Structure 1
């Protein structure tokens, strides 16, 4: 390990609810010193005058499509886009091909990431109706957690046997993350609309097919089960106002047994956008009403919702341009999530301190990530520098995803990520990549 030094000068340091002017000295992989002014003649200097320096974003939910679906994306392409977006650590989902439902398949993914990822990584282990034995072998110090699809899954990953579910909830110490949509409700709604329109259902009906009722039914059941069994439950991508009332802000995050996440697209888009964006904003769960979006913002700001993530899930444009029933759900987001949230800050919706809490501090607390998510002496130097006054427009030429499109194309952002450091190494600087392999496997303090 080299002991090279990097000194970030004149930064607006955003950490733990405050913004202070100062310098940050990095030595090797770690933050060595934080002070109002530091002299280190031998260090490489980065001048952050008038810019924010924040901890690297920890994205707790991405789909990077490797192995098996690499025509859409790879760990290399998407982690590179993530670095450009200020994301320095990701947790990737198990619904690849083959699915990550055995220890062997999980280790295969870690092996790929160790060679190709631009940023720090961990993976969720996938639960099925018949792999409890494998779940019990997972080491919770080295793996982010367990992912259960209680609706809307591919292959055999739908866990729809109530006995199995209770068994998993009762027997694992892993943090259980869930996708909550009630499959029976969705099937019934889909059949009704197919009868009316055939396969080419107008996209505006997507949030009515994958309805508030489908979401609430599933998430309320999962929460009931978690309370009954004492399991540690994290509900992914809330999309309805109604669901926000299932969560509490009465206790500190570190003591919560039941937590929630919201994704950038549910905070940004509403059903009013389907007309312009079509299947490009087809996600599961669906983007819902303006009112739902407003209630998600309220719950985020009053701490019923704990984390902002992306659910980055790329598909090719060819796949997305199919008729409703054949167009897959999901879209790419890691490159634009942080600047989109800075845009919300410019609109007066969220403070920079709160944004850092929800994208950096809270994922670290919630997943007990070791020595990341904060700007602290002795912590890994995962840092992002943001210029909040350097406007640019998203277009095909600057989109970095392998799928080469973004739901934000045509959007003008006021803020830009200028530097991303991973474990003390500058991996991204002013639209250029330094091809250093600095990424590490995340470890968890459990």
Structure 2
């Protein structure tokens, strides 16, 4: 079905007609005199390229009670995300060709386009893994105490070298467990769920642990010729180390909009890796986002059930949902003139496409995929977990304000119309 958007405002302020045909953007012009199966009167509303979330955990295989490819991708579509990249720490982890194939079969249920990252463990099978259409290597845990996905420094260097030989980006979870503050356990006052003191988790996983690991990761990248991308950078020091080392980096909405000051209210719902940082560091991250040092905003969408989060601080799983609220939160800040719409477009779409070699994604430009999001910047509303589409049913941004899409389109097909989201599995692996 062809679509013609009339009088749409692009991120740079220009008002244009945009016509799609056969899944691609066929024409962008001041005025288009052509027939279309569907005409959308944008009436000055904002038309953006669909967001590309380079960091999600849709939990399948192994943990479908938290999220599935269907529910996760529907949440993405309702938030204006048209491509997602799933990380490898599922059960089994995506560290072999067979494991990749299992996940790829499940991913066929997605309503948005997707990529699948491979992972590295002590028993990974790189030959069969690199035979598959990988999006990247990641989330590679560098000296991080996160269980089966952690690897030693020599194995990390080997993985980066193997990836470099195949022009595959390595996405790094940069925290050095040797610099964690074990004495934080002694400061834990107990409590479960929202009664737990999540600030202790921030004290435990120290800011120094991140900066040191980023520096090591970029050093290995320089030595091997590997391309390094630092995931969920949570400190200004981490961003600065990535920039100095020539790596790209991403920040998450929870590190941009939440800080240790929110830990008391969130309790274990605010436990994530890396943890929330102090308000000064949060503000420093925002400044670097606005100024251009941060390349990408990605969500690290990591849903867990309410029952799982209602545990003690040291037993509750780390992670928060975010794929549906990333773009709305950023658009709200743009509505307040705290960041430009062009910058929002770049960090959620254009820069991601450039960093991960997706030439047909991330731009409202002739020839690109018709991944489009139509929003009314003045139509802001309160974020409520009950209104979102993730299977987990909660959000750390409860009560905050976001600007949600009126329409989301993937390769010319409407997947969200402002009210309902499709269940038709039209998503494709972007590496095919």
Does TM-score exceed 0.5, indicating one fold?
yes
Cα distance in 2 for partners of 1:154, 1:419 equals 38
After TM superposition, the structure 1 stretch with the greater mean CA deviation from structure 2, 353-362 or 31-40, is 31-40
Secondary structure of 1:246's aligned partner: helix
Cα–Cα, structure 1 residues 135 and 284, in superposed 2: closer, same or farther, change >3 Å? farther
Secondary structure of 1:237's aligned partner: coil
Q: Name the structure 1 match of 2:207.
A: 212
> Map of 1:256-335 to 2, 5 A cutoff?
258-335=247-324
Is residue 2:11 matched to residue 1:6? no
Is residue 2:335 matched to residue 1:346? yes
1:213 is displaced (CA, Å) by 1.3
Would the aligned equivalents of 2:4 and 2:36 in 1 still touch at CA under 8 Å? Answer: no
Would the aligned equivalents of 1:425 and 1:436 in 2 still touch at CA under 8 Å? Answer: no
Would the aligned equivalents of 1:79 and 1:119 in 2 still touch at CA under 8 Å? Answer: yes
Secondary structure of 1:206's aligned partner: helix
Would the aligned equivalents of 2:94 and 2:118 in 1 still touch at CA under 8 Å? Answer: yes
Secondary structure of 1:371's aligned partner: coil
How far does the alpha carbon of each residue in 1:252-288 deviate from its partner, in whole angstroms, 9 at most, with x for none? xxxx951111111111011111111222221100110
Q: Name the structure 1 match of 2:348.
A: 359
Would the aligned equivalents of 2:111 and 2:422 in 1 still touch at CA under 8 Å? Answer: no
Cα distance in 2 for partners of 1:259, 1:397 equals 35
How far does the alpha carbon of each residue in 1:266-321 deviate from its partner, in whole angstroms, 9 at most, with x for none? 11011111111222221100110111112112222333221011000000011111
After TM superposition, the structure 1 stretch with the greater mean CA deviation from structure 2, 95-104 or 392-401, is 392-401
Is residue 2:88 matched to residue 1:91? no
Would the aligned equivalents of 1:180 and 1:218 in 2 still touch at CA under 8 Å? Answer: yes
Q: Name the structure 2 match of 1:202.
A: 197
* TM-score normalized by the length of structure 1: 0.91
After TM superposition, the structure 1 stretch with the greater mean CA deviation from structure 2, 192-201 or 116-125, is 192-201
Is residue 2:160 matched to residue 1:165? no
Q: Name the structure 2 match of 1:30.
A: 24
Structure 1: unaligned runs, 5 residues or longer: 250-255
Secondary structure of 2:415's aligned partner: strand
> Map of 1:69-80 to 2, 5 A cutoff?
69-80=63-74
Aligned to 1:156, which of 148, 154, 158? 148
Cα–Cα, structure 1 residues 62 and 298, in superposed 2: closer, same or farther, change >3 Å? same
Cα distance in 1 for partners of 2:6, 2:422 equals 21
Secondary structure of 1:261's aligned partner: strand
Q: Name the structure 1 match of 2:107.
A: 113
1:155 is displaced (CA, Å) by 4.2
Secondary structure of 1:433's aligned partner: coil
Q: Name the structure 2 match of 1:238.
A: 233
Would the aligned equivalents of 2:332 and 2:401 in 1 still touch at CA under 8 Å? Answer: no
Cα–Cα, structure 1 residues 193 and 247, in superposed 2: closer, same or farther, change >3 Å? closer
Is residue 2:118 matched to residue 1:129? no
1:89 is displaced (CA, Å) by 0.1
Cα distance in 2 for partners of 1:314, 1:343 equals 23
Q: Name the structure 2 match of 1:386.
A: 375
RMSD: 1.9
Cα–Cα, structure 1 residues 275 and 347, in superposed 2: closer, same or farther, change >3 Å? farther
Q: Name the structure 2 match of 1:61.
A: 55
Would the aligned equivalents of 1:60 and 1:90 in 2 still touch at CA under 8 Å? Answer: yes
Is residue 2:404 matched to residue 1:424? no
Cα–Cα, structure 1 residues 370 and 42, in superposed 2: closer, same or farther, change >3 Å? closer
After TM superposition, the structure 1 stretch with the greater mean CA deviation from structure 2, 434-443 or 55-64, is 434-443
Cα–Cα, structure 1 residues 28 and 319, in superposed 2: closer, same or farther, change >3 Å? same
Q: Name the structure 1 match of 2:136.
A: 145
* TM-score normalized by the length of structure 2: 0.93
Would the aligned equivalents of 1:81 and 1:335 in 2 still touch at CA under 8 Å? Answer: yes
Secondary structure of 2:209's aligned partner: helix
How far does the alpha carbon of each residue in 1:102-122 deviate from its partner, in whole angstroms, 9 at most, with x for none? 0111122112112x1010011
1:32 is displaced (CA, Å) by 0.8
How far does the alpha carbon of each residue in 1:365-387 deviate from its partner, in whole angstroms, 9 at most, with x for none? 00001411111111110000111
Cα distance in 2 for partners of 1:358, 1:40 equals 33
